[in-house]
Chain A
Amino acid sequence: MAILNPAILALTLAALAVSLALLPAAVFSLRVLRQWDMDSGSERQLGLERSTYLISTLVAFAFAVELIALLLFIYNAEALSTQFVGAMCATGVLNVNGYGWPTLLLKVLIFFAAALWLQLNRLDNRGEDYPLTRRKYGLLLAIAPLVWAEAAVQTLFFLNMNPEVITSCCGSLFSAEGSGVAAEIAGLAPREAALLFFGGGLTVLGLGAWRLWRGRGGIPFALGGIGAFVTALMGIVSFVALYVYEHPHHHCPFCILKAGHGFIGYGLYIPLFAATALALGAGSAALHRHVPSLRAAAALEGLRSIRLAMIGFVWFYALGLWLVARSNLTLTEVWW
């Protein structure tokens, strides 16, 4: 029997609604790619320009919805953990079938894609000739299938939840002995993970400082941000989490979100996600700094994004460091 509860209903409806809303947006994107002509004052062009307001409002709304859906998805997985044998937290529930992790991954991907789009839109709206319009709607055409895929995969995830299946939870999934990507990450020795974690941090902070100092290097900063995001997640699973739980084998990226650990996970994830999204924005600003009508705006936007991103990254790494420092756990192989 498929599991029916309000949260699942809500997630399914939301995915369906956003997917449907993106259908006209995709059609509109195609029209823009074919018909956009900034020099014309024809009613068709005026109509297209008016519609861009609807589309950007729609994407902003979808972004907000996707953000809340991401939280709800995790909360719901957490709450469902009582219904599956072997599941003790969200990890176990995501493992119930093969669609759980892909859904989460798609949600995160859509979050970043939408964040990038909104920042691109913001930049484009500063240029008097809307120079990035085609690029923007091309990107939207690429995002739409992601949203549709997410709706499909998520539905499959919920439909194929079989309470009879014994699932494996964070204990076994993120254990060094297991197999698969999660185990690979967890199997990473804490020492290497710590090196990657703080290495990624130093790289991105260094690139950011250089960008702020020299006024160049926005693209390396964006790449550094992506790198920092990936290494930070790996670091949380195989290294920071251990210190938070004060348990040498408890690798779980979700349990830190629980009240039992003071909701400290939000303090880590929110700045990390925000800073990475802003780093992407800084990258796109740097990429378009030579567009004639955007020269001033790109510099300004880039600077703003990088400053905010730097605040996020500094926060994230400082908190990570503090969590390790205040922990009673000592992992001997890490420090000597």
Chain B
Amino acid sequence: MLQAIERQRYFIDYSLSSLARRRGKNLGLLTVYSLIVFLLASVMLFTQSLRQEAAAILKEAPEILVQRIAAGRQDLIPAAYLERMGSLRGVSEKRGRLWGYHFDPAIKANYTLMTADQHQLPPDGILIGAGIARARGLGAGDFLSLRGNDGKPAAFRVEGILPAETELISSDLILMAEPSLRAFFGIPDGLYTDLILKVSNPREVRKVAEKLTLLLPDTRPILREEILRTYDAIFNWREGVVFVLLMGALLAFVIFAWDKASGLSAEERQEIGILKAIGWETGDVIRMKFWEGGLISLSAFLLGYLLAYLHVFFADGFLFEPVLKGWATLYPAFRPRPVVDGLQLATLFFFSVFPYTLATLVPVWRAAITDPDSVMR
């Protein structure tokens, strides 16, 4: 047992010195290899943190959202519907919500206006998302003027900026007091944009939704889990598309690796011949060569992953942001939270170490079966 370990140590020792002796060639390989890992890992880490962000935000969202549908179009929903649904088992809270989009021609972007439920705001006070604050150059105490439903501009005083942690969805948000919002949009009392229901037991959500469609046939319940599913599917799909696009790069890398592994220099060929002649066995040479490949893979994997980690979590993934986030003018500047998981690592393995090893398998074997007596010819 100990002897076996000692043996592998000799092989590692030899492969390290063999790598060092062909520094130029191996550094080139390491660079390309790390680059591939970096690209793939960046995409994965980035979407993964987006997905987590979305999930974290939706965690606070209500389990069920009820919209009124009039002739297939979403319409305001009367407050009376809250009474009409009566008391449903499992629903711990239900209330109406008031919100709407507002297009600001000044920066050609849509704001989301909502009632501030957790904050006490004066009639002309608003809280704004960080994206708006950046785009319009606003700080607390500044005034923001928006054209209301009566066509006249209304001025609001910025009371504060929403916290940065929620920026992925609060970037374009404006919160104001309920009466101000009703006045701004011209929504009469007794009507809401939609209704929300909180259900504590996830197993009861579907049952509640089914009952709602019977009780209120002109409404559509939207489940939080469905939104989450859609988000997940979209993120997965985008990530998948990027991976497919990166396939070309991957293929190029495989060919490159194959070429490097099979294009042994005369010197290398002679070295293997010498090893075979002085008492190394085919299996020993294969083992040594795989340590070589393994060491390169490990270095490239660590290096590429580390760079991707820095890129995504400390440089905000500036290379991919536009592709993967796909937001409009009000770009959320978000700081992804670092995450590492087994799914990612295993997937990454299949996109880097696996093709590399497969590409070098045959060349390594071909080198290893060099005849021991070749050095005598």
Chain A positions near chain B (C-beta within 8 angstroms): 3-11, 13-14, 17, 21, 50, 53-54, 57-58, 61, 65, 68-69, 71-72, 75-76, 78-79, 82-85, 163
Question: Roughly how many angstroms separate A293 CA and B232 CA in the complex, as a whole number?
Answer: 59
- Give a binary string over B351-377; 1 marks a CB under 8 Å from any A CB, 0 the rest: 100110110011011001100000000
Contact B240 A5 (CB under 8 A): yes
Out of A3, A4, A68, name the residue touching B346 (CB < 8 Å). A68
The closest CB in chain A to the CB of B365 belongs to A54
B217 near A: Cβ within 8 Å? no
- From A21, A54, A78, A163, B229 is in contact (CB under 8 Å) with A163
Q: A57-B361, A163-B229 are in contact. Are A4 and B350 (CB under 8 A)?
A: no
A75 touches B240 (CB 8 A): no
B2 within 8 A of A: no
Distance between Cα atoms of A14 and B350 in the complex (Å) = 7
Whether B98 is near chain A, meaning CB under 8 Å from some CB there, is no
Contacts of B283 in A (CB 8 A): 53
Q: Which of A7, A21, A76 has the most chain B CB atoms closer than 10 A to its own CB?
A: A7
CB pair B232 A82 closer than 8 Å: yes
Q: Which of A3, A14, A21, A76 contacts B233 (CB 8 A)?
A: A3
Closest to B203 in A: A171
How many interface residues does chain B have, given as a range? 35 or more
**Contact B282–A9 (Cβ < 8 Å):** no
Residue B342 lies at the interface, judged by CB distance under 8 Å to chain A:
yes
- Asked if B236 is at the interface of the complex by the 8 Å CB criterion, the answer is yes
Query: Is the beta-carbon distance between B228 and A7 smaller than 8 angstroms?
Result: no
Query: What residues of B have a CB within 8 angstroms of the CB of A17 in the complex?
Result: 354-355, 358
* Contact call A54/B362, Cβ cutoff below 8 A: yes
A104 to chain B, nearest CB (A): 16
Residue of A nearest to B290 (CB): A57
Other CB < 8 Å A-B pairs besides A6-B240, A10-B346, 12 of them?
Answer: A4-B237, A13-B350, A53-B282, A53-B283, A53-B286, A54-B365, A61-B358, A71-B342, A82-B229, A83-B233, A85-B225, A85-B229
Q: Which residues on the A side are within 8 Å of B43 (C-beta)?
A: 6
Offer 9 A-B interface pairs, CB within 8 angstroms, sorted by A: A4-B236, A6-B240, A7-B347, A10-B347, A11-B350, A57-B364, A68-B349, A82-B225, A83-B229
Give B372 Cβ to nearest chain A Cβ, in Å. 12
For B225, list chain A residues within 8 Å (CB): 82, 85
Whether B357 lies near A75 (C-beta < 8 A) is no
